[in-house]
């Protein structure tokens, strides 16, 4: 295997014939027009390349296909909804294995509060399936109309409700995985307690397709909150936002389900770029806004708790102004500002992006010091730092100054800006990939930043589970 982003592999004509026969006409795609969607990146950063696309219809077919790949030494890149942001699911010569057709709901067990679905179910579909049981599947993110369960597990996705419910890792009870040699591991236990030896499922969660193909998962269902209250609050600084979070947690008994911070420049981007969006509070222009959602198990008294909290926050000058959504439509409109921010940025052009986390208490210092470092490099850069303050996770993005093309900016300053921001993150004991993963984009940087002992363990796991390096090679780590 090569150590670059592009790999070459010889595909035997006999392998192609056998793969085509095994997968059938719907499961084997090799015409450029049909392959196009699978091979382009969401952010438009380069196209992938694959000899063909395999779309198996069942776990048995995934297993047979992976065994065939093993026989011919063929490397495979799994792909779900193709919304990943670190180029992990785009093939560079590997066969692309799409999980789109793995769509069965295998089991719903309300008494165990669990649901077992195949990897190709889309997150928004799962949320609906679970809602019919009067339960909640709490994972929620901007790409939920496209991202699939297998991809979400493979990236250990986060999103806007991590504060209350945790990341994908916290929602998985069991997994079914097809190993690189084609064997099926059935770990769909649905157990909350299981201390029999190593917790193998954890290896595949967040592995970005480098260890096996996730074909199904047993996931937790949560009680549906009786009422969700959304507010849009003006704060003077990230430090005030962190103070507000602490106050809100204490006053609501831990009922804060989302706590998102956005700068005015980000809100302006959305209002300019995205149709059907409107400023939730046009009379109050503030440097920063918090979108706070509180989920209460009962309706009685909920509004009093929230109003009491907001009163305290205003009295102590943590919050300067704000609105409380009075209807579902208004709540939807407020959420739309936050959810479409990545799309608005995309329309604006390529920013130098950082998906980082630091302890929540260090966030204000991080933003202040990162801004100082960035302005020292590009004095008039446009900084848009927004994200999941409740999780200490910021999307710290640096866009070019007026009049500078994004390509020019990226080439001239991309590496220097990223080094400056990531050095600071590491000094603060943070993470250079809070929720999007490593893929190929951060692979070399990961190798530079982790300790030798950590890299040895990572490589040992990879070699143990994928000794021939055929599962999504050259993503995350190179061996
Ligand atoms: P893909 O992009 O298809 O694949 C992602 C990785 O998983 C690849 O390495 C791929 O090889 C591997 N993979 C996919 N399926 C399997 C499988 N069945 N078995 C093994 N490996 C597999 N992420 C967050 O965490 N939080 C956010 O708030 C968030 N917001 C987003 C907003 C937008 C608008 C967009 C476009 C993306 C956002 N993301 C976010 C990133 C993205 O949605 C997640 O990474 C998501 O989990 C990817 O799921 P997918 O099905 O699209 O996976």
Any residues with CB less than 8 A from the CB of 303 and at least 6 apart, and which?
Answer: 229
260 and 317 in contact (C-beta within 8 Å)? no
Closest CA to ligand 1's atom 18: 150
Mutational pocket test of ligand 1: of 155, 335, 345, 439, the residue with most ligand atoms within 8 Å of the beta carbon: 155
User: What is the arrangement of strands in the sheet containing 288-296, beginning at the earlier edge strand?
Assistant: 321-324, 227-235, 288-296, 256-263, 382-388, 393-399, 355-357
467 and 181 in contact (C-beta within 8 Å)? no
Q: Which domains, from first to last, does the chain contain?
A: 13-101 (3.30.43.10), 105-223 (3.30.465.10), 227-342 (3.30.70.2190), 349-427 (3.30.70.2740)
Q: Is the per-residue pLDDT at 71 higher than 50?
A: yes
Q: Is the per-residue pLDDT at 361 higher than 70?
A: yes
Choice among 56-60, 112-116, 252-256 with the minimum mean pLDDT:
252-256
Q: Is the per-residue pLDDT at 271 higher than 50?
A: yes
pLDDT at 427: 97
Instruction: Using pLDDT thresholds of 50, 70 and 90, give the confidence band for residue 4.
Output: very low
216 and 103 in contact (C-beta within 8 Å)? no
Closest CA to ligand 1's atom 42: 84
User: Could you please report the per-residue DSSP string of 76-97?
Assistant: EEEESSS--SSS-SS-BSSEEE
Nearest to residue 155, comparing CAs of 479, 472, 457? 472
Residue by residue, what is the 3-state secondary structure of 235-249?
ECCHHHHHHHHHHHH
Length of the chain: 479
From ligand 1's centre to the CA of 143, what distance in Å? 8
Q: Is the per-residue pLDDT at 386 higher than 80?
A: yes
208 and 439 in contact (C-beta within 8 Å)? yes
pLDDT at 70: 98
226 and 299 in contact (C-beta within 8 Å)? yes
Closest CA to ligand 1's atom 26: 159
From ligand 1's centre to the CA of 160, what distance in Å? 15
Mean pLDDT of 251-255: 93
Nearest to residue 203, comparing CAs of 180, 162, 169, 157? 169
The Cα 45–Cα 399 span in angstroms is: 16
Residue 381: phi, psi to the nearest 5?
A: -65, 155
Mutational pocket test of ligand 1: of 56, 80, 270, 465, the residue with most ligand atoms within 8 Å of the beta carbon: 80
pLDDT at 87: 87
What three-state secondary structure class fits 119?
A: coil
What three-state secondary structure class fits 210?
A: coil
Mean pLDDT of 56-82: 98
287 and 371 in contact (C-beta within 8 Å)? no
The Cα 288–Cα 261 span in angstroms is: 7
pLDDT at 46: 63
Q: Is the per-residue pLDDT at 69 higher than 90?
A: yes
Mean pLDDT of 5-23: 88
Q: Please report which helix (H) or strand (E) contains residue 233, including its range.
A: strand 227-235
* b/e map 230-240, b = 16+ CB within 10 Å: bbbbbbeebbb
N-terminal to C-terminal alpha carbon distance within the chain? 9
Closest CA to ligand 1's atom 21: 209
The Cα 198–Cα 277 span in angstroms is: 48
- Site of tokens 């089991």: 107
Tokens coding 370: 């990162």
* b/e map 287-296, b = 16+ CB within 10 Å: ebbbbbbbbb
pLDDT at 251: 95
Residue 405 Cα to chain centre, angstroms: 28
Tokens coding 95: 């066969």
Nearest to residue 397, comparing CAs of 281, 266, 285? 266
Mean pLDDT of 282-309: 94
From ligand 1's centre to the CA of 150, what distance in Å? 8
Nearest to residue 51, comparing CAs of 89, 88, 102, 7? 7
Q: Please report which helix (H) or strand (E) contains residue 13, including its range.
A: helix 13-27
ipTM of the complex: 0.99
Mean pLDDT taken over the chain: 94
Tens of pLDDT, residue by residue over 365-376, are 999 999 999 999
Tens of pLDDT, residue by residue over 397-438, are 999 988 888 889 999 999 999 999 999 999 999 999 999 999
Torsion of CA 370, 371, 375, 378, to 10 degrees: 70
The Cα 204–Cα 214 span in angstroms is: 8
- Site of tokens 């029999």: 196
Longest dimension (CA), the chain: 75
Instruction: Determine the atom of ligand 1 nearest the C-alpha atom of 177.
Output: 19
CA-atom Rg of the chain in angstroms: 23
Q: Is the per-residue pLDDT at 10 higher than 90?
A: no
Tokens coding 440: 């190929």
């Amino acid at each position: 295997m090569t150590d670059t982003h592009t790999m070459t592999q010889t595909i035997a004509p006999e392998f192609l014939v056998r793969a085509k026969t095994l997968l059938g006409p719907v499961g084997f795609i090799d015409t450029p027009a049909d392959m196009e969607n699978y091979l382009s990146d969401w952010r438009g950063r380069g196209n992938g390349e694959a000899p063909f696309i395999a779309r198996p219809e069942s776990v048995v077919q995934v297993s047979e296909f992976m065994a065939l790949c093993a026989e011919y030494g063929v490397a495979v890149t799994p792909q779900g909804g193709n919304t990943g942001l670190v180029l992990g699911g785009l093939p560079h010569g590997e066969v692309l294995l799409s999980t789109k057709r793995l769509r069965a709901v295998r089991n719903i067990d309300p008494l165990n509060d669990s649901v077992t679905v195949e990897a190709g179910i889309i997150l928004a579909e799962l949320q609906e399936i679970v809602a019919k049981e009067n339960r909640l599947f709490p994972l929620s993110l901007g790409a939920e109309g496209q991202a699939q369960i297998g991809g979400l597990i493979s990236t250990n996705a986060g999103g806007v409700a991590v504060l209350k419910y945790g990341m994908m890792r916290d929602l998985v009870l069991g997994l079914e995985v097809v190993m690189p040699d084609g064997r099926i591991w059935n770990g769909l236990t649905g157990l909350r307690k299981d201390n029999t030896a190593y917790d193998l499922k954890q290896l595949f969660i967040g592995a970005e397709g480098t260890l096996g193909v996730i074909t199904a998962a047993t996931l937790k269902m949560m009680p549906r909150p009786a009422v969700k209250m959304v507010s849009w609050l003006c704060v003077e600084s990230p430090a005030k936002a962190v103070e507000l979070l602490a106050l809100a947690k204490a006053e609501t008994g831990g009922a804060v389900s989302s706590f998102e911070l956005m700068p005015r420049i980000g809100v302006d981007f959305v209002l300019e770029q995205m149709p059907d969006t409107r400023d939730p509070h046009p009379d109050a222009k503030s440097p920063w806004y918090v979108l706070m959602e509180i989920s209460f198990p009962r309706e009685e008294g909920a509004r009093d708790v929230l109003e009491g909290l907001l009163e305290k926050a205003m009295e102590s000058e943590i919050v300067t102004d704000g609105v409380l959504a009075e209807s579902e439509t208004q709540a939807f409109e407020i959420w739309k500002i936050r959810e479409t921010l990545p799309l608005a940025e995309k329309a604006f052009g390529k920013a130098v992006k950082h998906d980082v986390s630091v302890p929540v208490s260090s966030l204000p210092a991080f933003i202040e010091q990162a801004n100082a470092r960035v302005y020292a490099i590009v004095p008039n850069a446009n900084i848009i730092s927004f994200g999941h303050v409740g999780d200490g996770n910021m999307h710290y993005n640096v866009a070019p100054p007026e009049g500078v093309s994004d390509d020019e900016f990226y080439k001239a300053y991309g590496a220097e800006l990223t080094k400056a921001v990531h050095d600071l993150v590491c000094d603060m004991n943070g993470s250079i990939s809070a929720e999007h993963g490593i893929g190929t984009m951060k692979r070399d940087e990961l190798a530079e930043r982790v300790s030798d002992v950590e890299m040895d363990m990572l490589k040992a796991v990879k070699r143990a589970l994928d000794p021939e390096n055929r599962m999504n090679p050259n993503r995350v780590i190179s061996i």
